[in-house]
């Protein structure tokens, strides 16, 4: 029997080329990541030097309409957490799961359509940075959020957040929004008003009650669904609040 002839293929050179290309790509990604992290850290450091956390806190607390967290209805606070950052009490200021999901959605859309920001990151962005969507700004925001979580308790962060966010119609902070929209202090808000106000800051120009009350009610329904999903309300209570709207 004639000896079999073993066929030679160029598999080994191709595999070597692919391996080298992979290493090159990894190095490029690492260099890019280092570049953006360094720029973001510099932005964070400069922002913190210009406005220390204690001064930021005092600025919010001294603003008109500031309402201590113990005077806010539990349902309002639960609604904010449910709709904005349901893992708020578990993460250290940066939610890896939410960020990963947002990244996948952004890649699918081919644009930045979801930020994945936590409540702490939103507070950091609103107080220290612009709304510009850049990688280094996002990195700076994460550094600031992590620093805030070391300085403040979760309740303090939530208090600062709800007292500084914009509710449309010129109302900044939950105290001013409550008085401006409903003529009452936040502690007197009913269930419908709590869930309605919790949804507005997501897009205040769109959900402002003077402009688009119907859109605001639709957003309220989303808030109620989140409250049920994360076990703050049962289905029956959510349906009752949704049916009655503000004034429930």
CATH code where residue 123 lies: 1.10.3810.10
At residue 91, φ and ψ (nearest 5 deg) are -90, 165
Helices (H) and strands (E) in the chain, counts: 12, 0
At residue 223, φ and ψ (nearest 5 deg) are -60, -45
Beta bridge partners of 61: none
Question: Is 235 contained in some domain?
Answer: yes
Question: Is 185 contained in some domain?
Answer: yes
Place of tokens 């406005």: 51
Which of 193, 187, 198 has its CA nearest to residue 222? 198
Question: Is 4 contained in some domain?
Answer: no
Question: Mean per-residue pLDDT for 171-184?
Answer: 97
Question: Mean per-residue pLDDT for 229-238?
Answer: 96
pLDDT band at 248 (very low <50, low <70, confident <90, very high): very low
Domain count of the fold of the chain: 1
Question: Is 72 contained in some domain?
Answer: yes
* Torsion angle (degrees, nearest 10) of CA 104, 88, 177, 184: 150
What are 107-162's pLDDT values in tens digits?
444 444 455 699 999 999 999 998 887 888 899 999 999 999 999 999 999 999 99
Question: Is 12 contained in some domain?
Answer: no
Rounded distance, CA 191 to CA 169, Å? 21
Q: Average pLDDT of the chain?
A: 87
Question: Is 83 contained in some domain?
Answer: yes
Question: Is 57 contained in some domain?
Answer: no
- Domain of 198, in residue numbers: 26-48+65-245
Rounded distance, CA 186 to CA 6, Å? 83
pLDDT band at 68 (very low <50, low <70, confident <90, very high): very high
Angle (nearest 5°) at CA 78 between 173 and 82: 100
Question: Is 10 contained in some domain?
Answer: no
Rounded distance, CA 184 to CA 4, Å? 93
């Amino acid at each position: 029997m004639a000896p079999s002839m073993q066929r030679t293929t160029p598999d080994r050179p191709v595999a070597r080329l692919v391996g080298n290309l992979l290493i090159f790509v990894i190095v490029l990604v690492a260099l890019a990541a280092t570049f953006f992290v360094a720029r973001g850290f510099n932005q964070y450091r400069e922002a913190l030097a210009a406005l220390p956390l204690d001064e930021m806190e005092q600025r919010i607390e001294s603003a008109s309409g500031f309402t201590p967290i113990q005077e806010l209805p539990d349902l309002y606070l639960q609604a904010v957490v449910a709709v904005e950052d349901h893992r708020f009490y578990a993460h250290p200021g940066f939610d890896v799961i939410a960020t990963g999901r947002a990244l996948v959605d952004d890649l699918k859309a081919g644009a930045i359509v979801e930020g994945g920001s936590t409540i702490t990151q939103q507070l950091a962005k609103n107080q220290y940075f612009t709304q510009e969507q850049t990688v280094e700004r996002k990195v700076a925001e994460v550094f600031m959020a992590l620093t805030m979580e070391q300085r403040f308790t979760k309740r303090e962060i939530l208090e600062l957040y709800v007292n500084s966010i914009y509710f449309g119609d010129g109302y900044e902070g939950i105290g001013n929004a409550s008085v401006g929209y409903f003529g009452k202090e936040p502690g007197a808000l009913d269930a419908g008003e709590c869930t309605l106000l919790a949804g507005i800051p997501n897009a205040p120009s769109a959900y402002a009650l003077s402009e688009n009350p119907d859109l605001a009610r639709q957003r309220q329904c989303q808030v109620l669904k989140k409250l049920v999903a994360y076990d703050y309300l049962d289905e029956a209570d959510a349906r009752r609040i949704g049916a009655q709207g503000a004034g429930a």
